[in-house]
């Protein structure tokens, strides 16, 4: 059975027939250096333009971050109150999941007005204050941009469903049923399914047609073949750019278009030729008609200039476009960057690296090589989890060495070439805490799919600030329970422990920002046959090389780095960071690592 929280990414794999691109590249020299800024620009201008290229972006789930008014739900003023913590951590930007007015069926991803703030989260004035306080600390605020669908309570949809002749009718995807007559609604137009369970078609009795919804029934899909929809979103983007946002994360972007033929999707079969059944009890479809369809790139080519052309002396700098891009292979990911003439995303999510879900050295090595070679000078956006996926402990942990493994993951995230996306609470090792009873579930997919699909509450629990009853999140009753682990895993406790995971994240972020090779330096894989240790070198012109070695096992291992191909002779390393037990200094071809040990050293 497949859990719905995994479906967003699995559907993409199905669509391309699991055609993983295998890059047969030798271990050395895999990446092209990132282009440097022209000399005519001042250092400050270059900094504003390049701020995102080696950035740490922190995902805030506003509902769960910090509540200031005691209603048990996080709010904008709570985020503002925690900016100093984020500054101290070293983040360059925060991405807020949606804070627009919403009935909150999908906790904000069902938007009823794109140009305001939901009263649960605050006001536009609170938002402006957040942006201004964040900018004072050189932290950019990125908004979520949900273009695939609206809430069924959005005025556009209320109009659209009011009559077949309403001017908004064609803003959504309406179709007659199969075999529909004047008195019989027939069957839904085809077999397409919602990612959140069951048919993707909802019958509307008043106007006697079906509308399409890739997600919940209450989230009707917009019709992107209608130019008026394009114009509406350009206006929305401009509205938020004027308020000083640093960019957008485009939600569910690969599901913007559907195949106009309305042909059925294929059913995924298991090895015995039987249909795979998903967590909702439906046959698993291959997504071939509803995901990553023609039209998507043209929309992004159109939206990118909307961000690029925005110019403001009050809020200078590149506006960054991030894509929620669960894609089946690196080739499809590359397309999301567009071309030099027609750029699309700055940073489409690279789920190839972070969603392996298994500590397997060879797969990580190959995926990191792919990110370096296939993406060329484009910068990968690395991430390991988010508000839709169980946290790192649940996907990579072994139940015994979870904190050590969280250090390993942090190392891959922050010491590899690319932009790092950190999900709130990962820096302190928050664990996935799913509900144990159906009556406690808040995320509707957990109700539809219980008990196989428990929903996404487990990775959305309140931020653990301290060891008090509600973990410092709220003075009221928290909307989701604070996990018992908060007594030990919390910011306050970890701030005073130099060996904490939080201290580890901070040290890594500091290295990412200060070691020249960690800025844009290529990732060069070392010791390519090793099945226990992942080792790589960061190399940039004119900067000392830096070696990173990560033990993926509970055994003590000694690395034997084969450096001949890279033209490097064994030399001393100066330790920059290490886990307890790793040596204080090492020679390049002999680094002893304890269980899940990690070592970073600069070549002398
Ligand atoms: C992706 C978002 O990350 C997820 O939380 C949401 O439910 C769907 N898109 C629908 O908007």
Look at residue 390 and tell me whether its pLDDT is greater than 70.
yes
pTM for the structure as a whole: 0.93
Q: What is the pLDDT of residue 314?
A: 83
Kindly indicate the confidence band of residue 435, based on its pLDDT and cuts at 50, 70 and 90.
very high
Compute the C-alpha angle 77/145/427, nearest 5°.
55
The sign of the torsion formed by the CA atoms of 120, 123, 127, 130 equals negative
Residues with CB under 6 A from ligand 1: 106, 109, 146, 215, 251-252, 324, 387-388
> Ligand 1: which residue has its CA nearest to atom 4?
388
pLDDT tens, residue by residue, 572-602? 788 899 987 666 666 666 788 999 999 999 9
**What is the 249 CA–ligand 1 centroid distance (Å)?**
11
**What is the 294 CA–ligand 1 centroid distance (Å)?**
21
Average pLDDT, the chain: 91
**What is the 506 CA–ligand 1 centroid distance (Å)?**
29
pLDDT tens, residue by residue, 89-142? 999 999 999 999 999 999 999 999 999 999 999 999 999 999 999 999 999 999
pLDDT tens, residue by residue, 59-81? 999 999 999 999 999 999 999 99
Q: Give the β-pairing of 347-350 and 381-383.
A: parallel
- In this structure, the answer to whether residues 108 and 168 fall within a common structural domain is no
Q: What is the pLDDT of residue 36?
A: 35
For residues 461 and 459, what is the distance between their CA atoms, to the nearest angstrom? 6
Residue 512 lies in a domain: no
Residue 509 lies in a domain: no
Write the CATH number for 566.
2.60.40.1180
Write the CATH number for 206.
3.90.400.10
- In this structure, the answer to whether residues 112 and 172 fall within a common structural domain is no
Atom of ligand 1 nearest to the CA of 146: 11
Residue 229 lies in a domain: no
- In this structure, the answer to whether residues 164 and 217 fall within a common structural domain is yes
Kindly indicate the confidence band of residue 40, based on its pLDDT and cuts at 50, 70 and 90.
low
Look at residue 340 and tell me whether its pLDDT is greater than 80.
yes
Look at residue 13 and tell me whether its pLDDT is greater than 50.
no
Look at residues 503, 530, 558 and tell me which one is the last residue of a structural domain.
Answer: 503
Kindly indicate the confidence band of residue 562, based on its pLDDT and cuts at 50, 70 and 90.
low
Q: Look at residues 99, 46, 95, 469 and name the one whose alpha carbon lies nearest to residue 248.
A: 95
pLDDT more than 90, % of the chain = 83
For residues 81 and 90, what is the distance between their CA atoms, to the nearest angstrom? 16
User: In a mutational test of the pocket of ligand 1, which residue from 9, 251, 385, 390 has the highest number of ligand atoms less than 8 Å from its CB?
Assistant: 251
Atom of ligand 1 nearest to the CA of 148: 11
Number of domains in the chain: 3
- In this structure, the answer to whether residues 495 and 555 fall within a common structural domain is no
Do 140 and 246 touch, CB atoms closer than 8 A? Answer: yes
Q: Which residues of 138-173 are buried (b: 16+ CB within 10 A; e: fewer)?
A: ebbbbbbbbbbbbbbbbebbeebbeeeeeebbebbb
Residue 583 lies in a domain: yes
Atom of ligand 1 nearest to the CA of 196: 7
pLDDT tens, residue by residue, 208-217? 999 999 999 9
Residue with tokens 């940073």: 347
pLDDT tens, residue by residue, 525-552? 988 889 999 999 999 999 999 999 999 9
The DSSP code for 282 is S
- Point out the residues that are catalytic: 251, 324
Q: What is the pLDDT of residue 186?
A: 97
Atom of ligand 1 nearest to the CA of 109: 11
Residue 233 lies in a domain: no
Look at residue 376 and tell me whether its pLDDT is greater than 70.
yes
Q: What is the pLDDT of residue 564?
A: 55
Kindly indicate the confidence band of residue 603, based on its pLDDT and cuts at 50, 70 and 90.
confident
pLDDT tens, residue by residue, 265-285? 999 999 999 999 999 999 999
Domain membership of residue 195 as a residue range: 149-223+259-292
**What is the 459 CA–ligand 1 centroid distance (Å)?**
14
Per the DSSP assignment, residues forming a β-bridge with 269 are 275
Kindly indicate the confidence band of residue 313, based on its pLDDT and cuts at 50, 70 and 90.
confident
């Amino acid at each position: 059975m497949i859990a719905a929280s995994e479906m967003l990414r699995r559907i993409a794999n199905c669509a391309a027939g699991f055609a993983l691109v295998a890059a047969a590249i030798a271990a050395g020299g895999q990446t092209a250096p990132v282009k440097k800024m022209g000399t005519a620009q001042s250092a400050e201008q270059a900094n504003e333009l390049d701020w995102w290229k080696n950035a740490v972006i922190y995902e805030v789930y506003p509902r769960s971050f910090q509540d200031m008014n005691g209603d048990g739900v996080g709010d904008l003023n709570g985020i503002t109150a925690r900016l100093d913590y984020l500054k101290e951590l070293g983040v360059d930007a925060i991405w807020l999941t949606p804070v627009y007015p919403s009935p909150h069926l999908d906790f904000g991803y069902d938007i009823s007005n794109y140009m305001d703030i939901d009263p649960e989260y605050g006001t536009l004035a609170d938002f402006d204050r957040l942006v201004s306080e964040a900018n004072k600390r050189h932290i950019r605020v990125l908004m979520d941009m949900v273009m695939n669908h609206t809430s069924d309570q959005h005025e556009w949809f209320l109009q659209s469903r009011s009559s077949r002749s309403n001017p908004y009718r064609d803003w959504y995807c309406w179709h007659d049923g199969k075999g529909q007559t004047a008195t019989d609604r027939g069957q839904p137009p085809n077999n397409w399914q919602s990612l959140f369970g069951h048919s993707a078609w909802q019958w509307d009795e008043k106007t006697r047609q079906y509308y399409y919804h890739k997600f919940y029934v209450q989230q009707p899909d917009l019709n992107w073949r209608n130019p008026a929809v394009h114009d509406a979103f350009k206006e929305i983007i401009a509205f938020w750019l004027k308020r000083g946002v640093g960019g957008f994360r485009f939600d569910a972007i690969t599901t913007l278009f559907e195949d106009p033929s309305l042909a059925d999707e294929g059913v995924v079969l298991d090895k015995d030729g039987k249909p795979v059944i998903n967590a909702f009890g439906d046959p698993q479809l291959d997504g071939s008609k509803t995901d990553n369809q023609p039209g998507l790139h043209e929309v992004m080519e159109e939206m990118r200039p909307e961000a690029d052309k925005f110019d403001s002396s009050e809020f200078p700098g590149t506006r960054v476009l991030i894509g929620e891009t669960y894609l089946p292979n690196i080739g499809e990911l590359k397309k999301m960057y567009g071309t030099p003439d027609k750029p699309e995303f700055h940073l489409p999510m690279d789920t190839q690296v972070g969603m392996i879900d298994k500590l397997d050295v060879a797969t990580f090595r190959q995926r990191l090589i792919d990110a370096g070679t296939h993406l060329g000078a484009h910068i990968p956006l690395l991430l390991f989890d988010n508000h839709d996926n169980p946290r790192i402990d649940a996907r990579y942990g072994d139940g015994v060495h979870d904190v050590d493994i969280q250090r390993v993951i942090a190392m891959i995230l922050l010491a590899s070439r690319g932009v790092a996306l950190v999900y709130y609470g990962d820096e302190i090792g928050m664990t996935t805490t799913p509900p144990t009873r159906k009556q406690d579930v808040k995320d509707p997919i957990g109700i539809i799919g219980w008990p196989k699909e428990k929903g996404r509450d487990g990775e959305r629990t309140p931020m653990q600030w301290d060891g008090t009853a509600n973990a410092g999140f709220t003075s009221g009753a928290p909307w989701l329970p604070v996990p018992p682990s908060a007594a030990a895993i919390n910011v306050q406790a970890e701030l005073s422990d130099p060996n904490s995971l939080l201290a580890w994240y901070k040290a890594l972020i500091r290295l990412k920002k200060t070691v020249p090779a960690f800025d844009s330096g290529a990732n060069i894989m070392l010791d390519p046959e090793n099945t226990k240790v992942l080792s790589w070198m960061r190399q940039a012109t004119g900067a000392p090389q830096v070696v990173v070695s990560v033990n993926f096992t509970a055994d003590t291992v000694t690395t034997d780095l084969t450096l001949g191909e890279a033209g490097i002779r064994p030399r001393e390393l100066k330790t920059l960071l290490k886990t307890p037990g790793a040596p204080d200094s090492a020679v390049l071809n002999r680094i002893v690592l304890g269980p899940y040990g990690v070592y970073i050293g600069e070549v002398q």
